[in-house]
Amino acid sequence: MSMRGMDLLTLQELSKRDLERVFELTKELRARVAVGDLPPVLSGKSVAMIFQRPSTRTRISFEVAIRQLGGHPIYLSWEELQLARGETIEDTARVLSRYVDAVVARVSLHSDLEKLAEEAPVPVINALSNRFHPCQVVADLFTMLEHKGYLEGLKVAYVGDGTNVCNTLLVGCTKMGVDISVACPKGYDPDSQAIEWARENAEETGALVEILRDPAKAVEGADVVYTDTFVSMGLEAEREKRLKVFLPKYQVNLELMSKANPDAIFMHCLPAHRGEEVADEVIDGPMSVVFDQAENRLHTQRALLALIV
């Protein structure tokens, strides 16, 4: 089925075949941009980019990708929109859809994104919500594919907080037949809907899904070790409490990496909090692919835009 015009809110909307098409187009467009031969598929199209939270990678990679494809990105800080003065999400969606061809949105509450998508006839792409980060995980799966040469049968160990990235990895990995073991403290589990979708996907693909407490057990036999911040955006008031819960047990350091497969790679969506969820020796070490991962945000989002908008 075509991805044209679809909303991308959680990643569960995409099939395994859709993701394979995104990866194929990612490679094709990356090769074409290198020789100055990108098709201007967004020519004459405008994309509104609403950001309620700060961003480095997502904002810049989307802006660059839209421009490279001949489109016009419009960065809209939430604070500078009438949203900040109480205009509803629904009215904002109806108005924006009269001007632009797609909306990319980073919001604090996933329910706001759902309202936006419900009311906007144009496609809405999640640029991170409190529950899901689909564009990140598309880039992550592509990075695993590039570094390992295949996806089905790989094992990902996610260590730390059950964040939006962890939720989306559960969905994305299981769709592609990648085993995923999550190790998180009690009370910091991934989203229950994400776990349910992961188990459904795993029934189709045969992937293994585990939610554990012990990081050493999760990384046993892992090809990829992944972590994310212990203090997500908006949770700064819980910082001290969270660091006490997560440290030192859930930090990815050389000792933990040594329990994974010898050729395991380390991944992190960034920004990293060095000395908290990851030690310098890992993120700066030869096993780290975090900057390839960041670069792949641009390549995979170029393909997503070309397929959706």
- Which residue is at the shortest CB distance from ligand CP? 58
Asked about 251 being catalytic, the answer comes back as no
Minimum CB–partner distance for residue 255 and ligand CP (Å): 26
The catalytic residue among 30, 223, 228, 251 is: 228
The beta strand positions in the chain, using DSSP E, are 46-51, 72-77, 102-106, 124-126, 155-159, 179-183, 209-212, 224-227, 265-268
The pair of three-digit structure tokens given for residue 138, joined into one six-digit string: 């598309």
Q: How far is CA 277 from CA 159, 198, 222, in A?
A: 9, 24, 18
Identity of the residue, 145 or 165, whose beta carbon is nearer to ligand CP in the bound complex: 165
- Residues within the interface to ligand CP (CB under 6 A): 55-58, 128, 136, 269-270
The answer to whether residues 253 and 279 touch, using CB atoms and an 8 Å cutoff, is yes
Minimum CB–partner distance for residue 267 and ligand CP (Å): 11
Euclidean distance between CA atoms 209 and 153, whole angstroms: 12
Q: Which residues pair with 213 in a beta bridge?
A: none
Asked about 242 being catalytic, the answer comes back as no
At 84, is the secondary structure helix, strand, or coil? helix
Identity of the residue, 141 or 207, whose beta carbon is nearer to ligand CP in the bound complex: 141
Euclidean distance between CA atoms 288 and 240, whole angstroms: 27
The catalytic residue among 269, 293, 301, 302 is: 269
The catalytic residue among 133, 242, 268, 299 is: 133
Minimum CB–partner distance for residue 287 and ligand CP (Å): 19
Q: Helix crossing, 164-175 with 192-205: angle to 10°?
A: 10
The answer to whether residues 135 and 106 touch, using CB atoms and an 8 Å cutoff, is no
The answer to whether residues 22 and 300 touch, using CB atoms and an 8 Å cutoff, is yes
Asked about 106 being catalytic, the answer comes back as yes
Euclidean distance between CA atoms 34 and 268, whole angstroms: 26
Minimum CB–partner distance for residue 212 and ligand CP (Å): 24
Minimum CB–partner distance for residue 51 and ligand CP (Å): 9
Helix (H) or strand (E) holding 25: helix 16-34
Asked about 68 being catalytic, the answer comes back as no
Asked about 173 being catalytic, the answer comes back as no
Asked about 297 being catalytic, the answer comes back as yes
Q: Which positions are catalytic?
A: 106, 133, 136, 228, 269, 297
